[in-house]
Amino acid sequence: MQNKIQRLRKSRKVTQNELADAVNVTRQTIISIENGRYKASLILAHKLAQFFETSIEEIFIFDREDENI
């Protein structure tokens, strides 16, 4: 799943460590999400949306492949 986390994080001048601490995950989790290797849980997606003051839909880009149809 594609996302805009890295772009949002850099635009706010936040490090991966700072973001990880803010949403209570490891830096490795943030790296994996940014690179599309890990799909965030709904709870984590909500925390990220709150941190960036936006909606989940603005951060994560859903497509038909993500639906597993």
Domain membership of residue 39 (yes or no) is: yes
Mean pLDDT of 20-33: 98
The distance of Cα 13 from the centroid of its chain, to the nearest Å, equals 15
CATH of the domain at 42: 1.10.260.40
Domain membership of residue 69 (yes or no) is: no
Examine the pLDDT at 69 and tell me if it is beyond 70: no
Please tell me the total number of residues recorded for the chain in this structure: 69
Would the pTM count as exceeding 0.75?
Answer: yes
Domain membership of residue 68 (yes or no) is: no
Count: domains in the chain: 1
Contact 44, 25 (CB under 8 A): yes
Split at pLDDT 50, 70, 90, the class of 1 is: confident
Nearest residue to 48 via CA among 65, 12, 64: 12
Examine the pLDDT at 19 and tell me if it is beyond 90: yes
Q: Which domain holds residue 58?
A: 2-63
Examine the pLDDT at 66 and tell me if it is beyond 80: no
Contact 4, 56 (CB under 8 A): no
